[in-house]
Amino acid sequence: MVFNSYTFIVFFVIVLVLHYLPFSWKVKKINLLLASYVFYAAWNPPFILLLWMSTLVDYFVGKALYTQTNVHKKRLLLVISLIGNLGMLCFFKYGGFLMENFVSLVNVFGWSYHPPKPNIILPAGISFYTFTTLCYTIDMYKKESKPIPTLLDFSLFVTFFPHLVAGPIVRPPQLATQFETPHQATKKQLIEGLFLLSLGLFMKVVLADATLSASADAVFNTPLALTALDAWSGVLAFTGQIFFDFAGYSTCAIGAALCLGFTLPQNFKSPYAAIGFSDFWRRWHITLSAWLRDYLYIPLGGNRKGKFRTYINLMITMLLGGLWHGANWTFVAWGGLHGLYLWAERFIQDRKEKKALSIEPLTETQEAVTPKASAGFFYALLTFFLVNITWVFFRATTFSGAGKILGAMVGLAKGAVPLLATIAILKIGLVIVLMVAAHWMLRHTRVLDVAYKLPWWITGTVWSAMLILLILSQESSSAFIYFQF
């Protein structure tokens, strides 16, 4: 089930009604758990079994890890959890990728090996709920938080439908503790939740799908040579599409949870106003960035073992972060390119040796420091420009396709003819300019804060306009891009 469907509207109304009926808190939690299973099963019912298996294994392993005092037994339990979770993830997400690369490798050595192509269906959201359960067992191993008291609460923590399929990636203290006591939205929370849900759907349906997706698809899928204008327009269209699609989902998730009285962590904070790439990763997919920092970068040694190891740890983190997004070498290249950007940024900062600019990559949510606002804006535009380059590898399915787009962007394509209509290019330009401007203005604040500062009639007019455009644009219920991850 997707947020941008009429089925979800009916589903969500039923969930809200059940949640606000005078049932006991335990019954309400059971209702939410069953609703979450229905939400997930609407896509492919058999994969509920994977969700159940992951939930049961990690609940009981987590409890045992927290109470176990024998170091060797603790490590064995952790290995069981890692094998169970990462094993499922590797089979379903990377099985075909690994087999394909193994075949290519043995063929290089002259071995003729051509097995049948595996027909593996990727379960929706497996990367997200796997990371959610993994952080629980790792926290139990380190005793960084207390075990979730009941299987019901743990199951709801893993499968709570707003975050289940595409995040935000939540940790036990961020959500599970909220299930211990009765939660209902206040009138203010309900209005805020409905507003965020409307905003998220507007970002997905009107901006990502109706305005930008067709142009991005046309440019990245065409076999024809592209003009520089078309290539840049297509890349910018995808830059906007990926933000509005993914941030739209996160906004919907946060809004839906808030309508029920629960708070989910923020996942985006004006990423296209980032000043540098450390700052970008504190603003883009914040919960994944924090997960990679705490469960990969820091355990590898972070910046505690010298500059050389810091650079290596950074690159490993970004390469694996790229691979997390998809079983394709283009995603690895996307992560590697971000790693190179972070390398360059850290090298410059190390050379300057200024404490105010020594920002730790993938660490605390601190703001980048610049001497002047004008300089900060320039660096933000430079960061945005370089981020656009990385999106080429994220969107292209092959390196040849990515090379074709990059070549066209610098005017190297021969025999190119215009592809996109003038009106499409103008729409892309307008949306991207407004998006970047909005990110810059919202760099230090939230949308809800701005909504409260505006006169009520302006906020109401904007909200009404979003709803009208949603109704006019709702021609299909295409899945969110991050469902494939």
Which residues have a Cβ under 8 Å from the Cβ of 285 and sit 6 or more positions away? Answer: 167, 246, 267, 268
Q: Which residues of 367-380 are buried (b: 16+ CB within 10 A; e: fewer)?
A: ebebeeeeebeebb
325 is catalytic: yes
DSSP-assigned letter for residue 24: -
At residue 233, what is the residue type?
S
Out of 19, 285, 325, 439, pick the active-site residue.
325
DSSP-assigned letter for residue 149: S
Q: How far is CA 316 from CA 28, 278, 332, 390, in A?
A: 43, 15, 10, 17
**What tokens does 340 get?**
């190179």
Q: How far is CA 59 from CA 25, 135, 165, in A?
A: 21, 12, 20
Question: Do the Cβ atoms of 92 and 123 come closer than 8 Å?
Answer: yes
**Distance from chain centroid for Cα 460:** 29
DSSP-assigned letter for residue 483: G
Residues 162/280/463/175 CA torsion (nearest 10 deg): 30
Give 472: exposed, middle or buried? Use CB within 10 Å, 0-12, 13-18, 19+. exposed
Going by C-alpha positions, the residue among 290, 259, 68, 280 that lies closest to residue 170 is 290
Could you give the residue ranges of the DSSP H alpha helices within 171-327? 172-175, 187-201, 214-221, 228-259, 277-281, 286-292, 298-300, 307-325
Residue with tokens 């503790």: 177
Residues known to be catalytic: 325
